[in-house]
Amino acid sequence: MESVHGVSGNQVFLYPASDLAIVVSEHNPSEGISQKSGVDHARVIADCFQQSTVLPFRFGTVFNDDESLRRSIRSNQRQFLSNIDKLRGKTEMHLKIFVDDCCAKEIARVVSTDTVGRGYLSNLRETATRQRERQTRARAVSFQMHRLFIPLDEEVSCRLTENGKMVLDIAHLIERKHVERYQNKFASTSALMRECQMQISGPWPPYHFVHRLTRGAHLPHQPAAPVPVPAAIPTTAPEPLAAMA
């Protein structure tokens, strides 16, 4: 890993921990964590992902010393190995879908109406009805994407933009060998669904699904110390790498 550099340009190296190998770099706490640090962190994970299966640590995970890192890996080793098995040969694809908000004008009209008593309660009921309609539409689009792309797993979130659009962010977990098939399906789907604007990105390391699997893991964020070690966790060579940070 001599040619790979981590946060603040520090050298990245492998730290063996039983059946795992951790990709780490030293970090000076006086330098703080910046947006560029996040980019450096993501680049290391992406480089590891080209070679192997990766379990990314959450960005900003820092250990005070080698022993703290060793204890954390030892206490979570079984879960990490299980997660590597589950994610071996998998990758993450992202879909971003922009849909016209069918209820924006009606909700704005109701909210802006200054009423009291029965009228107020009626407006509350109408607002709730419109919001349910919005949720129903978002679920329908999400279900349609699931049926078309048939992912192994998925994470879906929905938000509203200021210009009256609903944005669905969808992460799909798929086999790495099926990336081209997925991209072809996207091309045909976006041509058919003209009422939606669609964007695709990937393949990515399976960030969403790693963090779901490791949600219960004991990985305390430790305060910065003289020799903190931010980490990434890969499996030992020649097995796939896993990264956490």
Mean pLDDT, range 2-6, rounded to an integer: 70
User: Edge-to-edge, what's the strand order for the sheet holding 196-204?
Assistant: 153-160, 165-175, 90-100, 196-204
- State residue 174's pLDDT score: 96
Would the pLDDT of 87 be above 80?
yes
* DSSP tag of 234: E
Calculate ∠ Cα 168-173-152, nearest 5°. Answer: 110
Q: Is residue 36 part of a domain?
A: yes
Query: What is the Cα–Cα distance from 19 to 40, expressed in whole angstroms?
Result: 26
Q: Is residue 43 part of a domain?
A: yes
Mean pLDDT, range 26-49, rounded to an integer: 80
Q: Is residue 132 part of a domain?
A: no
**Structural domain tally of the chain?**
1
- State residue 232's pLDDT score: 42
Mean pLDDT, range 32-47, rounded to an integer: 82
Would the pLDDT of 108 be above 60?
no
Specify the residue for token string 């900003």: 60
CB 44 within 8 A of CB 231: no
- State residue 95's pLDDT score: 95
Q: Is residue 159 part of a domain?
A: no
Domain holding 85, by residue range, is 7-89+206-234
- State residue 203's pLDDT score: 93
Read off the pLDDT of residues 168-198 as tens digits, 9 standing for 90 and up. 999 999 999 999 999 999 999 988 887 788 9
Q: Is residue 56 part of a domain?
A: yes
Would the pLDDT of 226 be above 60?
no
